[in-house]
């Protein structure tokens, strides 16, 4: 897991990224209907950061997905896409991609600068990645990956001072709801 988190830290420094996460088995434990609250919170923060596009990958409808996630605002503004739509979205954005799923289909086509995480209950945590694809055991491991990415992207924003339309993307003077947040 340490090597994966180190690669997530490097990936997170990319100027523009796509974060595409499968719902079943990645954001929610297999057999559970709701996403883990921590994964939803991480996606909410990521989508608010500049240069970051977030998509939830599922064959379920967008309305159903929104109800199963803990989203902020009006359904959170997350993109809801089918597994076969990950590669076209990745190509359209031209951004580095982090793709996390139980299904290997959305991870197809990842290349240099991209990072894949395949959720596999039989994964060997000590195994080396296959190309740019790591394996993790469950949705709890996915939370660790997403939280690491949130920290890296937040620090990147604070260091670069990235702005949107002449205004700070986030009011860095405002108190955070979680004082321990990065």
Domains of the chain plus CATH, in order, are 2-168 (3.40.50.1000)
The pLDDT of residue 182 is 47
pLDDT, tens digit, 9 for 90 and up, residues 1-57: 899 999 999 999 999 999 999 999 999 998 888 899 999 999 989 988 989 999 999
Computed over every residue of the chain, the mean pLDDT equals 83
Contacting residues for 51 by C-beta, under 8 A, at least 6 apart: 14, 15, 16, 17, 95, 162
Q: What token pair was written down for 56?
A: 């939830």
């Amino acid at each position: 897991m340490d090597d994966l988190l180190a690669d997530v830290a490097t990936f997170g420094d990319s100027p523009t990224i796509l974060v595409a996460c499968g719902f079943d088995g990645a954001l929610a434990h297999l057999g559970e209907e709701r996403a883990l609250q921590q994964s939803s919170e991480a996606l909410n923060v990521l989508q608010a950061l500049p240069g970051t596009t977030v998509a939830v990958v599922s064959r379920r409808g967008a309305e159903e997905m929104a109800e199963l996630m803990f989203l902020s605002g009006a359904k959170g503004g997350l993109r809801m896409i089918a597994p076969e739509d990950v590669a076209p979205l990745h190509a359209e954005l031209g951004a580095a991609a982090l793709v996390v799923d139980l299904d290997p289909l959305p991870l197809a086509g990842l290349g240099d600068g991209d990072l894949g995480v395949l959720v596999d209950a039989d994964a060997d945590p000590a195994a080396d990645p296959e190309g740019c694809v790591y394996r993790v055991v469950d949705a709890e491991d996915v939370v660790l990956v997403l939280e690491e990415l949130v920290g890296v992207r937040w620090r990147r924003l604070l260091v670069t001072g990235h702005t949107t339309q002449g205004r700070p993307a986030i009011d860095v003077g405002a108190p955070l709801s979680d004082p321990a947040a990065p």
